[in-house]
Amino acid sequence: MGLVELVEQLGPRTLVSIGSLGDRVAVTGTEFLDVADEMTDASGMLLLAPSTASLSTARIGALAAAAADHGAAGLALKCSSERVPALAAIADSTGLALLRVADRISWRLLDAQLTHLLGEADTVLGAPQDRGAEPLFAIANELAEFFGGSVAIEDLSRNILAYSSVPGQVIDALRTHGILAR
């Protein structure tokens, strides 16, 4: 999912862009950023930085530059309205999207909302019969044999990715309807 779409779906009461969001940047996930740790590969990640409020503008600039160098999709932080112009300059100079998180939003809630939206947009696997899904069917069958019941594996959007098909396995009408309906 694109960063622009994420910001639009969450709305301005949750997340606001500081500066330009740039071209269609794809977000593949979220990661909490600990400012004390060394920056690692962040390709496509939206970095959530809860501990930046007390950092100097220069330190935030260095973090943004490192995040951009490591392929991050953006950096989400909380800040006062007085800091927004300086942060917009950082966003422009580094090319990294900076996002201002509303004070009323907890970091856990933001992460959950982002994870939910990214999970809904994830359509990597098409039909369950794709060759890439075969290991999931094998896992479902193993679990069904071990526990003695039917098994369905779903993604975050509750789409069925795989289901068990063990010979002699009893599948009740409710479960059959659930699998076929999804």
Reported as a single tens digit per residue, the pLDDT across 91-110 is 999 999 999 999 999 999 99
> Using CA atoms, how far apart are residues 107 and 13, in angstroms rounded to an integer?
14
| Each residue's pLDDT tens digit, 42-72 | 889 999 999 888 899 999 999 999 999 999 9
**Residue 50 has which token pair?**
């809860």
| Cβ count within 10 A of residue 91 | 23
- pTM of the entire predicted model: 0.66
What confidence tens digit (pLDDT) does each residue in 15-39 have?
999 988 866 678 999 999 988 888 8
User: Could you tell me which residue, 147 or 176, shows the higher pLDDT?
Assistant: 147
**Cα 161 to Cα 75: distance, rounded to the nearest angstrom:** 32
β-strands 160-163, 152-154 pairing? antiparallel
Are 155 and 125 spatial neighbours (Cβ–Cβ below 8 Å)?
yes
The SS3 assignment for 10 reads helix
